[in-house]
Each structure stands twice: as C-alpha cells, then as structure tokens.
Amino acid sequence: MSDIKTHYRNCNICEAMCGLEIKYQDKHILSIKGDPEDPFSKGYNCPKATALEDFYNDEDRLKTPIRRTANGWEDISWDQAFTEIAEKLKGIQKEHGRNALAVYLGNPNAHNLGNALFLKPFMKSLGTINRFSSASTDQMPHHVAANFMFGAGMLIPVPDIDRTDFMLIIGGNPVVSNGSMMTAPNVIGRMKAIQKRGGKIVVVDPRRTRTAKIADQHLFIRPEKDALLLLAMIHCVFTTNSVNLRHLADRVDGLDALENIANDYSPESVAKHVGIPASDIRTLTNDMTTADSAVCYSRMGASTQTFGGLCQWLTNVLNIITGNFDRAGGAMFPQPAFDLLRNHKKGHKSSFGQYKSRVRKLPFFNGEFPVATLAEEIFTPGEGQIKSLITVAGNPVLSSPSGHKLAEAFSGLDYMVAIDIYLNETTKHANIILPATTGLENSHFDIFFNSFSVRNTVKYSKPLFEPADYQRTDWQILKELAARMTDTDLDEYTPEMILDMELQKGPYGKQGMSLAKLIDNPHGIDIGPLMPCIEARIKTEQGSVNLVPQLYINDLPRLQNVIIHPARDKKYPFDLIGRRLVKSHNTWTQNSERLIKGKNPCTLEVHPDDAKVLGISNGQSVMVSSMVGEVKIEVVITDDIQRGVVSMPQGWGHNQQGTQMSVAAKQPGVSINDLTDASRVDTLTGNAALNGTPVAINVA
Ligand SMILES: Nc1nc2c(c(=O)[nH]1)N[C@H]1C(S)=C(S)[C@@H](COP(=O)(O)OP(=O)(O)OC[C@H]3O[C@@H](n4cnc5c(=O)[nH]c(N)nc54)[C@H](O)[C@@H]3O)O[C@H]1N2
Ligand SMILES: Nc1nc2c(c(=O)[nH]1)N[C@H]1C(S)=C(S)[C@@H](COP(=O)(O)OP(=O)(O)OC[C@H]3O[C@@H](n4cnc5c(=O)[nH]c(N)nc54)[C@H](O)[C@@H]3O)O[C@H]1N2
Ligand code: SF4
Ligand SMILES: [Mo]
C-alpha cells in the first residue's frame, strides 16, 4: 500500500461547482468532503458528491463497447465498433439524406470539459441539422430571451445572491437543486446571509418547497400562470411611478411599448387566474421596488411550462425596469475566464426559427430542434424522416416528455448508437454502446457553469485516477467518430490545449491566466464578485437592451386566450408538476446504493382536501393518468402542495426490462415522463411544458 494522498477537484454532478477534497490510497477512496480551501464553495458539498466513489466503482458501468445481437449483448473492440458505426451511419445518410441521422445530447455534456469542446466538430462531421438536447426540457426560454434582449443566447444574467437585499424566486427550488442558471455552492448559506443582512426572500411556487420554508414568504401560485403575475408586477411598477433604469437609461429600447402592454394586466385582472390576491401582488412589487437592491430569479417552474418564453423575458424586464440590472445585488452578467462569447460579434444574427421542424413546425434555435418533437420526426414517414440516432450522455426515454413513446420510436430506428456509461432505458435500444470514462477518471473545467456563476472564479481539476488503456474518454470517442465519418486523420488537439489557449486569450489572459496557473492552484482562484459590465458584454448591434422584442408581443394573444378560454378537459382535473430530490440527479445517479437506500422517494404528493374527495389515504397506491399514459404510484398526503396540484419526482422509472442498473432497479420508481405530453410545449421557444400536465387520479 502506498501513502494516503489528497486530491482536489470540482464536483461535476450539478451546476454548483463545489470544490472537493478526496483522500485516497492507491485506487481506494477513503473520503470525499467539501474542500474548505476552495474560494467559492468554502467546504460545502451535498450528499451526492460522495457517490462519485460509487460511480467510479460501479460494476454495472460499461467500460468497453458492446453490440446488441439476437442473443443479447456482446463485447466488441473499439475499432470494430467505430468501423461498424461509420459504415452504417454513412450508408443511412447516403440513402436517406444527411438529416436522416439525429443526435440527442443530454445534461452531463454540460458538465464535461471534453464534450463541451468537441461536440461542435463532432456535429459538423455528421452534417445533420437534426440535433436535439435536454436544453429544450430545461432552459431554452432563458437562451431565447438572452438572444433577443442582449444579443447572444449565452448572455444570461444571474442573480447577485451575495449582495442582494431582496430575492424573488419563481419556480426554482435551489435549496434542493443547489441552484441552476445560478451557480452558487451552498445556496442555503447564501440565502441565510441575505436574511442576516436584513434582506428578504420570497418564493412563488405551487409547492411549499424546502426553499419556500427557508424564505421569509411563500406564495402559492397556480401552475403556468407566472407570466400573468410578472405582467401584473410590471403593471404596478409603472402605475406607482417606480420605473428606474439607473445607468441603463440610454441603453434600453422599448419602455413605452412595455408600458402599453402592461396596462392591460392590473393585479385585480390576473389575481383570480394566478391564485394570488391582488393586494399581495402589489405588496410584492412594492417590496421589490423599495429594496436597496433586488432581483427576480425564475427557473425550471417558470421555464418548462406553456409560457416559459414569456416568463423568462418578463423576469429580465422586471429586473431592468426596477433598476436591478447590471448592478450589485441585481441580475448581472458573469465574466468567465473561458469566455464562450469571446468570438461573438456584436449584432451577430441568431439562428432562431431559421428552420422549422418538419412535422410540427417548431423553431430551430441554438443549433437544435425541441426534443418534444423527436418521436414524431422518427415516426412520420416522408422526406427528411429520422432513421438513425446517436445519443451522447442522455436518457431521453426517462427525461423527455412522453418518454415511453420515444422508447417505441427508438426501437424502430434503422440504427442507433449511444455514448453512455450505462445500459439503461435509452441505451438499451442502441445497436452499439460506446462507454466513456466518467467523474473521477476525467479532468474537469466548468466552461458553462462559470458562465452562469454568481461569482467569478476559475478552477481546473486533473483526473484523480488514470483510466485503463482499454477505456476512452467522451472526447476521444467523439473525435474518433468524427474522423471516421469524414475519412480524415485525427488531429492532435486535446481539451487541455484548447482550454489553455482560451484562458490566455480570455479576459484575464493579460494578468497571466493560463492552464499552468490553474494547475498551480488546485483549490481554484477567486477573481471576485460580479462587476457591472454591460457595455463590454452586450452583443446587440446598437449596444442597447431590447426590452420588448417583437416575438414576445406576438405571443401575448396566446396568453390572453388561456385566460379567456381556459381549456380544461374535465377528465383530467389535476395539474401535475415535477420535483427534484436531494439524493438523485436526473435519471442517472440512482445506481448508487447510498443515494437510493431508505424509503421510496418516488411518491405523489396530494393535498389533504383533494385526498378526502378522492377517498385516498397516505401510503395508498393510485393510478395517475394523463392524455398520453398512466402510472401507479404511492400517495403522500401533505398541505405542502397546492389544492388541485400533484407533484412527483423526475428522473425515475428504472423498472424496464433489458436494462442493467441493478442498484437502481431495487428502488425503480415510475417515470413522470410517461405522463407528460410531448404535444404540450411553449410554442414560442419549443421548450417542453413538463409542468402543469393535466392528470386524473383513480384508486388503483
Ligand atoms: N418531467 C420532468 N422531466 C424532466 C425534468 C423535470 O424537471 N421534469 N428535468 C429536465 C432537465 S432540467 C434535464 S437537464 C433533463 C436531463 O435529461 P437527460 O440529459 O436526457 O438525462 P440524464 O439523466 O441527465 O441522462 C444522463 C445520461 O448520461 C449518462 N452519463 C452520465 N455520466 C456520463 C458521462 O460522463 N459520459 C457519458 N457519455 N454519459 C454519461 C447516463 O448514464 C444517462 O444515460 O431532464 C429533463 N426532464
Ligand atoms: N438534487 C438534485 N439537484 C439537481 C438536479 C436533480 O435532479 N437533483 N437536477 C439539476 C438540473 S438538470 C437542473 S435544470 C436544476 C433545476 O433546478 P430548479 O429550477 O431549482 O428545479 P426544480 O427543483 O425542479 O424546481 C422547480 C420548481 O418549480 C416549481 N413549479 C412547477 N411548476 C411551476 C409553475 O407553473 N410555476 C411556478 N412558479 N413554479 C412551478 C416546482 O414545484 C419546483 O419547486 O437542478 C439541478 N440540480
Ligand atoms: S451541490 Fe452539486 S456540485 Fe456540489 S457536491 Fe452536490 S452535486 Fe456536487
Ligand atoms: Mo437541467
């Protein structure tokens, strides 16, 4: 046995970028704890970090390629796998056109340095426009708003949680999720600090979440009515003469148009629909406009819903007109050391709506189509039909709306490849699975989450354990496939080479930022709090903020229609919403014994009054059905959920035949996405409307 050693790295499971201190001896991990010397997370970590050990040791994890045959899966060599894949995919593209091949990119791509850098050339080598990703079950409305208001889809303002005096959280549960589009390790600590300095936190959510319980005030809202609430708040900002653009007075276009729009949405006119009394909406607005600094942060609940586009636009608007934009304590732009917008020219035209999806005419944006349309693009015959698919670190069968329909679609494909670490609900449909190294075997640098971070910091992590010779990293797989698809030689670039170049060319390059410097500082380097930087960062042609982009004006009648004619099928009287759990991350961490042990967490929360009417009791199993599917699930009765709304976790349903996640199968749960309906989207952005799915509940 050799000496006990210590390794420092960032956890790459979620967006919080917690610094970890890992004690190990040879290939054995002795402990995983928060790194007290990490300048950003200062010793914080959540329970999921310790499971990095489990993923490293997981016997179910695939390490070499496997091929599906009539008699089950067989091992094949990397060379055999690449040769077969290139031949099959080229053949399909030759016969049916380049777009007959589709790609689905999942969430872990965003947490992986190599993928962040090599997916672009990989996509180019395939030459298809049919890219789909988890972004359209998540944050597409944020990108669309950023694109049209600030000139770049990646220029997303984040709440300056460490300096704000008032934080309004709409449809986010950062105490459990650890924050999203807001990288802020130890959110609880940061929220408590707001309160300690005399500030206030208000949560707007159909569920009394853990975040709501810590907040000073919680307002229950009817699902999918947030755009109305935001419009009414904006209305109040105008009627109380509280518009205050501060230093942005000459930089904001469209204030008059906004006032005209907001005119129609008095708190009294929306209160009934939103489920929040008009007086509360006025008080909420007053709290925000009178605080020394304030920020409205709206996330998944206000993004993965029918009006996600409007919600994210209006959130930015509210921050801007209350003088809380590009200012300490408000919504601010980070300035990351690896700047994804380094080469983004001002006035660069976006790809929004450049193409429309073939079947449902949903918009193409940020280089992709909404995943809600993937199944029909596979099922519907005709020119441009998708015949083959590559998934990269994604599990859309469990994560996308109407996931069970996607499973059916995948099983009918001519050919499918999965680059993944598990044989799971999605990858079991592949002809070949190419397994990548993961977690502790990889080097790490957060390109994306530094771009959404509440503080400018920078850190590089070396791999803890060198992978075995027979393993491949994701980026090596992507590069090899790209080379095979284009019959070109592999170039010598590694993620580290590109990272070093970007750091040196980036905003701190002149001060000596480089990969070598990061290697010398394994705990990470603090650059400092976010700084006002709109002049340098904004990418619109004129350098001003477009407060009222036309596409949002065009979308308002849809919102009005919902008010005037609330389309409600009486057969499905409840609104289903999702929830996240402290000890699971999306669909893939459930193969860790320590994360899934204990009581079944995959339960349906029902309000006591609803339970009484339904005649159901705690712990009883019920059938939940929607327009597209049905699941059987155990009930938990709680007044933490609003009447008429029910909640179940996302990411579960590991009960399918032919998968190989033996730990997850012990506590499988059911998939919420067997109920969510792919036909329900925010038609403006194409994002899936996962929240607010109409469902019925019947005794099982
Ligand atoms: N109803 C409902 N549905 C939701 C949500 C919701 O709130 N409600 N949330 C949505 C959101 S926000 C998201 S981001 C999506 C996530 O949707 P997906 O990204 O499709 O789902 P994940 O569970 O993240 O899938 C990760 C996949 O990558 C594999 N994997 C893990 N690590 C690695 C790695 O290092 N390399 C490779 N190659 N593969 C790896 C896993 O085995 C798994 O197959 O789900 C969405 N779906
Ligand atoms: N532990 C854990 N952490 C995670 C993940 C995980 O799976 N587990 N996933 C990661 C990922 S990929 C992401 S994107 C982030 C997401 O991070 P968050 O955005 O914080 O996601 P959720 O916890 O799903 O919070 C969404 C909230 O919206 C509420 N909601 C639902 N419908 C509505 C509505 O119509 N209006 C309003 N106002 N609220 C609504 C829900 O009750 C819920 O509290 O979390 C990340 N972190
Ligand atoms: S909060 Fe996220 S980044 Fe931090 S330890 Fe937990 S999973 Fe890892
Ligand atoms: Mo996500």
* CB of residue 114 inside a 6 A radius of ligand 1: no
* CB of residue 104 inside a 6 A radius of ligand 1: no
Looking at residue 562, its pLDDT comes to: 81
**Distance in Å, CA 17 to ligand 3 centroid:** 6
For 662-671, the pLDDT digits (tens) are 999 999 999 9
Average pLDDT of the residues of the chain = 97
* CB of residue 437 inside a 6 A radius of ligand 1: no
Atom of ligand 3 at shortest distance to CA of 10? 3
* CB of residue 110 inside a 6 A radius of ligand 2: no
Looking at residue 29, its pLDDT comes to: 97
* CB of residue 669 inside a 6 A radius of ligand 1: no
Chain length of the chain: 700
Q: What is the DSSP string of 205-243?
A: -SB--HHHHHSSEEE---TT-HHHHHHHHHHHHHHTT--
For 453-479, the pLDDT digits (tens) are 999 999 999 999 999 999 999 999 999
Given its phi and psi angles, is residue 17 left (phi above 0), alpha (psi -120 to 50 degrees) or beta? left
Domain 566-699 has CATH 2.40.40.20: yes
* CB of residue 396 inside a 6 A radius of ligand 1: yes
Amino acid at position 122, single letter: F
**Distance in Å, CA 178 to ligand 2 centroid:** 10
The domains of the chain are located at 566-699
Position with higher pLDDT, 563 vs 313: 313
Measured from the alpha carbon of residue 587, the closest ligand is: 1
pLDDT band of residue 569 (cuts 50, 70, 90) is confident
For 401-454, the pLDDT digits (tens) are 999 999 999 999 999 999 999 999 999 999 999 999 999 999 999 999 999 999
Looking at residue 467, its pLDDT comes to: 95
Burial of 468 (0-12, 13-18, 19+ CB in 10 A): exposed
Residue 693 in this model has a pLDDT that exceeds 80 = yes
Atom of ligand 1 at shortest distance to CA of 579? 7
Atom of ligand 3 at shortest distance to CA of 41? 4
For 276-308, the pLDDT digits (tens) are 999 999 999 999 999 999 999 999 999 999 999
Q: Compute the distance between CA of residue 277 and CA of residue 107 in angstroms, rounded to an integer.
A: 38
pLDDT band of residue 568 (cuts 50, 70, 90) is confident
Atom of ligand 1 at shortest distance to CA of 392? 38
Atom of ligand 2 at shortest distance to CA of 170? 38
pLDDT band of residue 700 (cuts 50, 70, 90) is confident
Atom of ligand 3 at shortest distance to CA of 16? 3
Measured from the alpha carbon of residue 395, the closest ligand is: 1
* CB of residue 134 inside a 6 A radius of ligand 1: yes
* CB of residue 422 inside a 6 A radius of ligand 1: yes
Please report, rounded to a whole number, the percentage of residues in the chain having pLDDT higher than 90. Answer: 96
For 300-335, the pLDDT digits (tens) are 999 999 999 999 999 999 999 999 999 999 999 999
* CB of residue 682 inside a 6 A radius of ligand 2: no
For 187-211, the pLDDT digits (tens) are 999 999 999 999 999 999 999 999 9
If one residue of 406, 586, 591, 654 were mutated to test the ligand 1 pocket, choosing by the most ligand atoms within 8 A of its CB, it would be 586
Atom of ligand 2 at shortest distance to CA of 211? 44
pLDDT band of residue 350 (cuts 50, 70, 90) is confident
Position with higher pLDDT, 231 vs 489: 231
pLDDT band of residue 216 (cuts 50, 70, 90) is very high
pLDDT band of residue 601 (cuts 50, 70, 90) is very high
For 243-289, the pLDDT digits (tens) are 999 999 999 999 999 999 999 999 999 999 999 999 999 999 999 99
Residues measured by CB to lie within 5 Å of ligand 4, the ion: 138
Give the number of other Cβ atoms within 10 Å of residue 175's Cβ. 20
Looking at residue 532, its pLDDT comes to: 98
Atom of ligand 1 at shortest distance to CA of 477? 38
**CB-CB contact of 35 with 8 (8 Å):** yes
Residue 610 in this model has a pLDDT that exceeds 90 = yes
* CB of residue 172 inside a 6 A radius of ligand 2: yes
Average of per-residue pLDDT across 361-374: 96
pLDDT band of residue 144 (cuts 50, 70, 90) is very high
Looking at residue 580, its pLDDT comes to: 98
Q: Sign (positive/negative) of CA torsion 422, 423, 424, 425? A: positive
* CB of residue 254 inside a 6 A radius of ligand 2: no
**Distance in Å, CA 598 to ligand 3 centroid:** 21
Looking at residue 447, its pLDDT comes to: 96
Residue 349 in this model has a pLDDT that exceeds 80 = no
Give first-to-last CA distance, the chain, whole Å.
Answer: 56
Average of per-residue pLDDT across 506-529: 98
**Distance in Å, CA 557 to ligand 1 centroid:** 34
Measured from the alpha carbon of residue 14, the closest ligand is: 3
Q: Compute the distance between CA of residue 345 and CA of residue 281 in angstroms, rounded to an integer.
A: 40
List, in order, residues 6 or more apart from 154 with CB less than 8 Å away. 143, 146, 340, 341, 344, 451
Average of per-residue pLDDT across 542-546: 95
Atom of ligand 3 at shortest distance to CA of 49? 5
Looking at residue 164, its pLDDT comes to: 98
Looking at residue 351, its pLDDT comes to: 79
* CB of residue 684 inside a 6 A radius of ligand 3: no
- 3-state class of 434 per DSSP? strand
Residue 656 in this model has a pLDDT that exceeds 90 = no
- Lowest-pLDDT range of 34-43, 155-164, 402-411, 489-498: 489-498
Average of per-residue pLDDT across 611-631: 97
Which residue's CA is the closest to the ligand 1 atom numbered 3?
399
Interior CA angle at 130 toward 129 and 134, to 5°?
A: 125
Exposed e or buried b for every residue in 455-464, given b needs 16+ CB within 10 A? bbbbbbbebb
Average of per-residue pLDDT across 343-370: 92
Looking at residue 480, its pLDDT comes to: 97
If one residue of 113, 461, 650, 673 were mutated to test the ligand 1 pocket, choosing by the most ligand atoms within 8 A of its CB, it would be 650
Q: Which two tokens stand for residue 595?
A: 């994360």
